[in-house]
Structure 1
Amino acid sequence: MFAATRVAVRPAVAPLSNATQARNMATLKEIQQRLKSVQNIEKITKSMKMIASTKVAKAQKAMENARAFGSSSSALFENAETKVGEDAKTLFVTASSDRGLCGGIHSSVSKATRRAMEHRSASELVILGDKPKAQLQRIFAKNIRLSFNQIGKDIPTFAEASAIVDAIKRANIEYDNAQVVYNRFNSVISYEAVSIPVYSEEAIKASPKFASYEMEDDVLEDLQEFNFANSIFWALVEGHAAEMSAKRTAMENATKNAGEMIQKLTLTYNRGRQAQITNDLIDIITGASAL
C-alpha cells in the first residue's frame, strides 16, 4: 500500500522540477547574452581610450602654441588698460564641439554661459558646437544669433576661427565687448570653464594708454578682427585638449566598470551553471533510486 502511494505521488512532483530547470536554463542564457554584450562594450571603450590617448599629445602641443599667441593678444589690451562700462553690450561666444562621450565638457561651458547671462537677458549668443547648442537653446533660444558645427574634427585651425569671425561680421552683430567661454586645460584630469574678453574697435580706441601705439584706423580694424579670431582659435584648441583628456578618462572609467561587471556576471553564470548541474544530478539519482 505504501509503495503504491509513492508511485502515485512521483508524477505530480516531476513537472515542477522540469519547470524549474527550464527557468534556470532561460536565466543562464540571458546572463550569457548579457556577458557577451558587456565584453563587446569593453572592447569598444578600450579602443576609444587608445585613440583618445594618441590624440592627447597632439592636442596639448597645439594648445601650447595657441596659448602663446593668445596670451600676447591679451597682454596688449591689458597694457592699454582696455575696459568697457557695466552697461556695455556684450556678445557671448560659447566654444565647444559636436561629440559626446567625454564627461561634463559640454555642460561645463553651458553652465558658465548661463551664469554669465543671468543678468544680461538681452545679450546675444553665438554657439560653436552642437552639444552646447542643444543645452542652451532651451533657455536662450531667442538670444542665439549664429551657431556652428563640424568644427575641429581633428585639431581646430586658425582658418576655422577666421571663418567664424567673418560670419559674425557679415551678420552685423553689434557689441561693445565679447566673452569667449571655453574649457581651460589645467591638467589631464582637470579643466575649468573660463572666458576670454574681446573688445570692439570703439572700446580699443577709448583705451587710456592705446594712443601710445600710434595705430591708424584701417590697421585697428584688422587688429580687432585678428584678435577676435585669435581668441576663438585659442578657446577651440584649448577646449579640444581638455575634451580629449576628458574622453580618455571617461573611456578608462567605462572600461574599468565593464571589467567589474564582467567579473560579476561570470561569477553569477558559474554559480547558476553549477546549481543546474547539481539539480540534474539530484534528478538522476532520485530517478535511479525510484526504479
Structure 2
Amino acid sequence: MLRAVAARPAIKQAAAARSFSSTAPAQETLREIEQRLKSVKNIEKITKSMKMIASTKLTKAQRAMNTAIIYGKTNNELFEQSQIKSPENAKSLWIVVSSDSGLCGGIHSSVSKYTKRGIAEDGSEDNQIVILGDRARNQLQRSNPSDVKLSFNQIGKQVPTFADAAGIADTILTSGVEFDQVNLVYNQYTSQIGYDAGTLKAYTDKVLSESEGFKSYEQEEEATKDLAQFSFANAIYATLVEGHASEINARRNAMDNASKNAGEMINTLNLKYNRGRQAQITNELIDIITGASSL
C-alpha cells in the first residue's frame, strides 16, 4: 500500500507533463517518418544504380578519350608549327561543348561561365556562339541571346564519333556564320574526382594560309581549305569525346555523393523513428500504470 501511495505523485507529474506537451506544436508522426524513410531508401536505390551505370560507361568513355586526345594534340602541333597569329579585329566563334543530360553536378555550368568570362575578356563586339547540347543552351540563351547563332541537341547519349563531329563541322561551315578563329570551350578530364573548363583553338583556311610557317611552303588553295576543315572537325571530335568522359565521371561522383547523403538521412530518420516509438511505448505504459493505480 505504501508503494502505491508513493508512486502516485510521480504518475500524476508524468501525466501532467504529457498533457502539457499535447498543447505544443504538432511534430511528425511515426507514420510520416516511416513514409519519408521509405522514400529516401527508394532514392538511395536509384542513385546507387545510376552510379553503377556511370561506372560501367566510364571505362568505355575513357578508352575513347585516350584516342581522341591525339586528334587535339595534332591540331595544336599544326597551328604551333605554322606560327599562327590571330588577325586584328578577328571574328571569334565560341563553340560550347555540353550535352542534353543532367544529374552530373555543375559540369554544364562550368563551360557556360567560362564562355561568358572569355567573351567579356576578349572585348570584341563581334562574338558568335554555337552550342552543343541543350543544357548549356538553356543557360547561355538567357545571358547572351543575341550571340547564339546555332545549337545542336541529341548530344551525349552515346560516345561521340568522328562522323558526329564531321557532321557538326559541316553544318557550321555551311550555315553562313563568318569567323576567323574558333574557341572550343569544353571540360577537360583532369582526374577521377575533377575536371576543368578549358579551350581548344582552331582557325580558318584564310588565317592558316597567311601564317608565317605556312607561307614557307607552296600549297594549293583547295588543299589548304581541306586541311583547315579537317582540323576543325578534329578539334570538335577531341573536345566532344573528352567532354563526354568528364560528364560521365561527374555523374558517377554526383550519384556517389547523393547515395552517401541518402544513407546519412536514413540513419537520422531511423534514429528519429526509434526515439518516437520509444516515447509512444512510454506513454502507453504511463496510461496503463495510471489506470491500474486509479483502480
Question: How many residues in Structure 1 have an aligned counterpart in Structure 2?
Answer: 279
1:258 match: 262
1:97 match: 99
CA contact (8 A) 1:24 1:272 kept: no
1:130-145 pair list within 5 angstroms: 130-145=134-149
1:286 match: 290
CA contact (8 A) 2:89 2:124 kept: no
What CA distance in whole angstroms lies between the structure 1 residues aligned with 2:88 and 2:290? 89
Give 1:92's aligned amino acid. Answer: W
Give 2:240's aligned amino acid. Answer: L
Q: Tell me, which stretches of 5 or more residues in structure 1 are unaligned? A: 1-9
Structure 1 SS opposite 2:212: coil
1:194 match: 198
Q: Give the TM-score, by structure 1 length.
A: 0.91
1:66-77 pair list within 5 angstroms: 66-77=68-79
How many Å apart are 1:221 and its aligned residue?
Answer: 1.4
Give 2:48's aligned amino acid. Answer: K
CA contact (8 A) 1:177 1:200 kept: yes
How many Å apart are 1:215 and its aligned residue?
Answer: 2.5
Higher mean alpha-carbon deviation, 204-213 vs 106-115, is at 204-213
Cα deviation digits, residues 182-231 of structure 1 (max 9, x gap): 01111111211111111011100101011344321112111111111110
1:5 match: none
Give 1:59's aligned amino acid. Answer: A
Q: Root-mean-square deviation (CA), in Å? A: 2.2
Match of 1:217 among 214, 217, 221: 221
Match of 2:235 among 225, 231, 239: 231
What CA distance in whole angstroms lies between the structure 2 residues aligned with 1:203 and 1:63? 29
What CA distance in whole angstroms lies between the structure 2 residues aligned with 1:26 and 1:139? 43
Cα deviation digits, residues 79-116 of structure 1 (max 9, x gap): 01012134211111000111111111101100110011
CA contact (8 A) 1:151 1:160 kept: no
What CA distance in whole angstroms lies between the structure 2 residues aligned with 1:121 and 1:258? 47
Cα deviation digits, residues 230-282 of structure 1 (max 9, x gap): 10111110011111111111111110010000000000000000100110111
How many Å apart are 1:58 and its aligned residue?
Answer: 0.9
Structure 1 SS opposite 2:187: strand
Q: Give the TM-score, by structure 2 length.
A: 0.89
CA contact (8 A) 1:178 1:199 kept: yes
1:146 match: 150
Correspondence 1:63 to 2:65: yes
Q: Tell me, which stretches of 5 or more residues in structure 2 are unaligned? A: 1-11
Structure 1 SS opposite 2:155: coil
What CA distance in whole angstroms lies between the structure 1 residues aligned with 2:93 and 2:102? 26
Give 2:227's aligned amino acid. Answer: L
What CA distance in whole angstroms lies between the structure 1 residues aligned with 2:215 and 2:165? 28
CA contact (8 A) 1:94 1:109 kept: yes
CA contact (8 A) 1:96 1:239 kept: yes
CA contact (8 A) 1:70 1:234 kept: yes
Structure 2 SS opposite 1:209: helix
Higher mean alpha-carbon deviation, 266-275 vs 113-122, is at 113-122
How many Å apart are 1:24 and its aligned residue?
Answer: 7.9
What CA distance in whole angstroms lies between the structure 2 residues aligned with 1:121 and 1:87? 9
What CA distance in whole angstroms lies between the structure 2 residues aligned with 1:92 and 1:70? 17
1:205 match: 209
What CA distance in whole angstroms lies between the structure 2 residues aligned with 1:98 and 1:114? 20
How many Å apart are 1:20 and its aligned residue?
Answer: 4.4
What CA distance in whole angstroms lies between the structure 1 residues aligned with 2:66 and 2:245? 10
